Homo-oligomer: A and B are copies of this chain.
Amino acid sequence: MTMFQKFSRTVRENSSLAKMLIVFTVSGGGLVAYSDANPGNQMNIVNAADSYTKKKRVVVLGTGWAGTSFLKNLKNPSYDVQVISPRNYFAFTPLLPSVTCGTVEPRSIVEPIRNIVRKKNVDVHYWEAECYKIDAENKKVYCRSSLSTNPNETEEIVVDYDYLVISVGARVNTFNIPGVAENCHFLKEIEDAQRIRRTIVDCFERASLPNLSDEERKKILHFVVVGGGPTGVEFAAELHDFVNEDLVKLYPKLKDSVQITLLEAMDHILNMFDKRITAFAEEKFQRDGINLKTGAMVINVSDKEISTKEGKNGRSISTIPYGMVVWSTGIGTRPVIMDFMRQIGQTNRRVLATDEWLRVDGCDDIYALGDCATINQRKVTEDIWAIFNKADADNSGTLTVKEFQEVLDDVCERYPQVGLYLKNKKMHTLVDLLKDSKGDTVKESVVIDLEEFKLAFSQVDSQMKNLPATAQVAAQQGSYLADCFNRMEKCEENPEGPIRFRGEGRHRFHPFRYKHFGQFAPLGGEQTAAQLPGDWVSIGHSTQWLWYSVYASKLVSWRTRALVISDWGRRFIFGRDSSCI
């Protein structure tokens, strides 16, 4: 470890101290200092009220799961919040696959962000603009609004911040495969879902035209889904239901020409789920006639055909004509994040690295959450020397079990991988871990030195896993961060986090801890698979009802809840609509 690394880590760990200093300086300096420091502050027009200027300016980028969850849970009125996002609404993305086939209407799953924030006692301003540059040095973000009727005209907005919350999400990852960006449909935004819906009906109308050969008709009605993750699988299942429940009634002659193909590069679909769910899904798709091609890597997409590489050596290349391709595999980095990562030296990464308190590594007042960030979990072994020293209260150079138990809770909180390791190995306390490393014969009264201590933890770090890029993680991060902001002052005074092993005192906050509530994989035909906490797997019609009730309850407002439920009701009664709009 270089001196520089050590130094920067110390600074980072002591950041709360530095921040307290800033807080006092700024509040002490008051209005004059503030307006002097920001002579060209473009926000002054809106925030001119004197009372505002004393407030800390929080800028939130993005109105997705993380940003909205942050805004919903922020209750401390001592902030002046500015939200910047190109979309003036929050979209309940887990229902996007339902929108593609008209099971749910697009408007039913969105809620205007102004509606979400307007009842709050916190000052929240929203600008419909897209941030294209973060200037961490001067604490400014540069945004662009493309709302003008004239597409060549864009408004530029520069916004100052005290705290920046980056929650811009991710974009689609095309893996630079040629033709994907031009010819494929994606499934990230409401507009994508609407386009897919129109394209499906367009394909059926095209296939209905006279003068077509059977072959051409089959080509037009060949729907290809790339990516066997939950979204791709759900879309393929929804499409199958849409075709077989609704479209065949209106296009009876086309029924036999429709083909749905699901391409997955790995050996199985729904990899992140339990094997039972994967097996059930693959079997159901086979029964439904959905053509499942695993181990197929897409290498090229032309405007008419999609080429895949199959087999172990990738020797067998096959090219199939298609009518529509939906690309739903992996997430990529947004340009603004890419640019920001270059600035702060986080190169060669896919997403921003943050610490366990969601602060971007190396930037004190910038937080990043959701799909654009990942927590860079500190390794126990990196801090092993500090932990040992802290625990060794009598400076004896050795650790008794009693001494170790004093810091045990803090270790478990600061390094969640320790808890995970114990759970996986079915150990009950850290003492078991120590025993393990010394062999089972060790007694409770045993004393260990640094080397033995290090050995005990050497396996632990291997259990670390990045959190998945899901709505659930983003929402929990948003509400965690809002909670930190709500109690910022209180926790400055009474830190509640674990001991700082490398510094003095305690961390201000508990680190973020993700709680997994399970995951659904709707499989069509009113059947859903669910993997619930404790590896509990549930598949079938009853799970579909669980899905309905969980999703209805998770919707952001009573309005969207009523709309989505009435959409489901409409669908049950009248089926899905197939007008080309």
- Give the residues in chain B near A573, CB-CB below 8 Å: 559, 562
User: Given A112-B578, A127-B210, does the pair A118, B250 have CB atoms closer than 8 Å?
Assistant: yes
User: Given A88-B201, A150-B303, A250-B114, does the pair A209, B574 have CB atoms closer than 8 Å?
Assistant: no
A191 within 8 A of B: yes
Q: In the assembly, what is the distance between CA of A112 and CA of B43, in Å?
A: 49
**What are 14 A-B residue pairs whose CB atoms fall within 8 Å in the complex?**
A45-B210, A87-B580, A88-B579, A89-B579, A89-B581, A107-B581, A112-B577, A114-B250, A126-B208, A128-B209, A145-B205, A147-B205, A150-B303, A155-B211
Which residues between 103 and 147 of chain A lie within 8 Å of chain B, taking CB atoms?
Answer: 105-107, 110-112, 114-115, 118, 126-129, 145, 147
Query: Apart from A150-B303, A157-B209, what 4 extra A-B contacts exist at CB < 8 Å?
Result: A87-B580, A114-B578, A155-B211, A157-B210
CB distance from A141 to the nearest CB of B (A): 13
CB distance from A174 to the nearest CB of B (A): 18
Select from chain B the residue with minimum beta-carbon distance to A46: B210
Q: In the assembly, what is the distance between CA of A127 and CA of B534, in Å?
A: 54
CB distance from A214 to the nearest CB of B (A): 10
Q: Per DSSP, are chain A's interface residues mostly helix, strand or loop, or mixed?
A: mixed
Q: Within the complex, which residue of B42, B562, B577, B581 is in contact with A190, where a contact is CB–CB below 8 Å?
A: B581
A79-113 CB contact bits vs B (8 Å, 1 = yes)? Answer: 00000000111000000000000100111001110
Task: Report yes or no: B208 in contact with A128, Cβ–Cβ below 8 A.
Answer: yes
User: Given A155-B211, A211-B155, A581-B190, does the pair A249, B118 have CB atoms closer than 8 Å?
Assistant: yes
Task: Report yes or no: B211 in contact with A107, Cβ–Cβ below 8 A.
Answer: no
A72 within 8 A of B: no
CB distance from A244 to the nearest CB of B (A): 16
- Give the residues in chain B near A559, CB-CB below 8 Å: 573-574
Task: Report yes or no: A112 in contact with B562, Cβ–Cβ below 8 A.
Answer: no
Q: Within the complex, which residue of B148, B250, B324, B570 is in contact with A563, where a contact is CB–CB below 8 Å?
A: B570
A46-61 CB contact bits vs B (8 Å, 1 = yes)? Answer: 1000000000000000
Which residues between 2 and 50 of chain A lie within 8 Å of chain B, taking CB atoms?
Answer: 42-43, 45-46
Q: Within the complex, which residue of B112, B209, B211, B558 is in contact with A250, where a contact is CB–CB below 8 Å?
A: B112
- Give the residues in chain B near A316, CB-CB below 8 Å: none
- Give the residues in chain B near A318, CB-CB below 8 Å: none
A148, A209, A251, A303: which has the most chain B beta carbons within 10 Å? Answer: A209
A566 within 8 A of B: yes
A424 within 8 A of B: no
A149 within 8 A of B: yes
Which residues between 533 and 581 of chain A lie within 8 Å of chain B, taking CB atoms?
Answer: 558-559, 562-563, 566, 570, 573-574, 577-581
- 4 A-B pairs with the lowest CB-CB distances in the bound complex, closest first: A89-B579, A128-B205, A114-B250, A559-B574
CB distance from A274 to the nearest CB of B (A): 36
- Give the residues in chain B near A570, CB-CB below 8 Å: 562-563, 566
A202 within 8 A of B: yes
A138-179 CB contact bits vs B (8 Å, 1 = yes)? Answer: 000000010111100001010000000000000000000000
A309 within 8 A of B: no
Q: In the assembly, what is the distance between CA of A570 and CA of B561, in Å?
A: 12
- Give the residues in chain B near A188, CB-CB below 8 Å: none
A206 within 8 A of B: yes
- Give the residues in chain B near A580, CB-CB below 8 Å: 87-89, 128
Which residues between 389 and 432 of chain A lie within 8 Å of chain B, taking CB atoms?
Answer: none
User: Given A87-B580, A89-B580, A562-B570, does the pair A206, B157 have CB atoms closer than 8 Å?
Assistant: no
Task: Report yes or no: A206 in contact with B147, Cβ–Cβ below 8 A.
Answer: yes
Task: Report yes or no: A147 in contact with B577, Cβ–Cβ below 8 A.
Answer: no
User: Given A147-B205, A209-B145, A562-B573, does the pair A112, B157 have CB atoms closer than 8 Å?
Assistant: no
Task: Report yes or no: A562 in contact with B579, Cβ–Cβ below 8 A.
Answer: no
Select from chain B the residue with minimum beta-carbon distance to A570: B563
- Give the residues in chain B near A249, CB-CB below 8 Å: 118
Task: Report yes or no: B210 in contact with A107, Cβ–Cβ below 8 A.
Answer: no
Q: In the assembly, what is the distance between CA of A183 and CA of B145, in Å?
A: 20
- Give the residues in chain B near A88, CB-CB below 8 Å: 201, 205, 578-580
- Give the residues in chain B near A115, CB-CB below 8 Å: 250
CB distance from A196 to the nearest CB of B (A): 12
Which residues between 177 and 210 of chain A lie within 8 Å of chain B, taking CB atoms?
Answer: 183, 190-191, 194, 199, 201-202, 205-206, 208-210
Select from chain B the residue with minimum beta-carbon distance to A559: B574
- Give the residues in chain B near A107, CB-CB below 8 Å: 102, 105, 577, 579, 581
CB distance from A109 to the nearest CB of B (A): 10
CB distance from A95 to the nearest CB of B (A): 14
- Give the residues in chain B near A206, CB-CB below 8 Å: 128, 145, 147-148, 155
- Give the residues in chain B near A190, CB-CB below 8 Å: 581
Q: Within the complex, which residue of B126, B209, B563 is in contact with A155, where a contact is CB–CB below 8 Å?
A: B209
Q: Within the complex, which residue of B191, B210, B251, B581 is in contact with A581, where a contact is CB–CB below 8 Å?
A: B191
CB distance from A108 to the nearest CB of B (A): 9
- Give the residues in chain B near A212, CB-CB below 8 Å: 45
- Give the residues in chain B near A563, CB-CB below 8 Å: 570, 574
- Give the residues in chain B near A562, CB-CB below 8 Å: 570, 573-574
- Give the residues in chain B near A89, CB-CB below 8 Å: 579-581
Which residues between 345 and 398 of chain A lie within 8 Å of chain B, taking CB atoms?
Answer: none
- Give the residues in chain B near A110, CB-CB below 8 Å: 577, 579, 581
A286-313 CB contact bits vs B (8 Å, 1 = yes)? Answer: 0000000000000000010000000000
